[in-house]
Amino acid sequence: MTPSYALYRNRLETYFDRTAAAAWEQLTSDAPVSRIRATVRAGRDRMRDTLLGWLPADMTGMRLLDAGCGTGALAVEAARRGAEVVAIDVARNLVEVARRRAPEGLPIEWRVGDMTDPALGRFDHVVAMDSLIHYPAFDVAEVVRDLADRTQRSVLLTFTPASPALRLMHRLGGLFPRADRAPAIVPTDPRLLRTLIHAALPAAHIARSERVSSSFYISQAIEVVP
């Protein structure tokens, strides 16, 4: 990985383990949240449903990597469909929350570390939901190439599509109280990201794409088929 990837990853680890751990645990629960955070929660729920809808309903015998698993909701659903899941995140606090919340008996291996670690092995599907939105486009393309090299069927990822309105919204988010403050998201030009992914993976193609907008949550999903 590039030096900038390591820099952004380390910042992300610090952000979620120190600055935002409690707020993120609350956001991903059923606990009451502010109006702003409620729109983010609703948007994340829609995005998770979108990505799960792109995965097989029966995943028996398949292996899935939840790359940036957060508090584990997607990993749990994939495991319920029969997948053997490796769920990894750089934030130890979030993985601990995921372990506590997950029902017993599901085939999930919870890990703290780097999603690009080759020791994780090969997979049928990889999902990186809102975990690459914190990296520049060229780093995202490098990560997708690395993951696709070890993935048989699909790499599903999300990014934050750049636009003047989004940049303004993101700047305004920095003025909110800490509990509602925007995290360190890097908006990405969709055309640039597609170009970089095609350059990194000439034999792959981008299949489905869908954008989810819910007030202060704006994210776009794409499906890369190696």
Give mean pLDDT, residues 3-15.
87
Short-list 221, 224, 186, 219, CA closest to 202: 224
| Residue 175: predicted pLDDT | 41
pTM over the 0.75 mark: yes
Q: Which residue has the tokens 């993120």?
A: 24
Separation between Cα atoms, residue 200 and residue 29, nearest integer Å: 37
- CB-CB contact of 85 with 75 (8 Å): yes
The first and second tokens of residue 107, run together, are 């085939």
- CB-CB contact of 154 with 127 (8 Å): no
| Residue 189: predicted pLDDT | 95
pLDDT at 90 over 80: yes
Which tens digits make up the pLDDT trace of 136-147?
999 999 999 999
Percent of the chain past pLDDT 90, that is, above it, reads 75
3-class DSSP state of 38: helix
The first and second tokens of residue 89, run together, are 């995140």
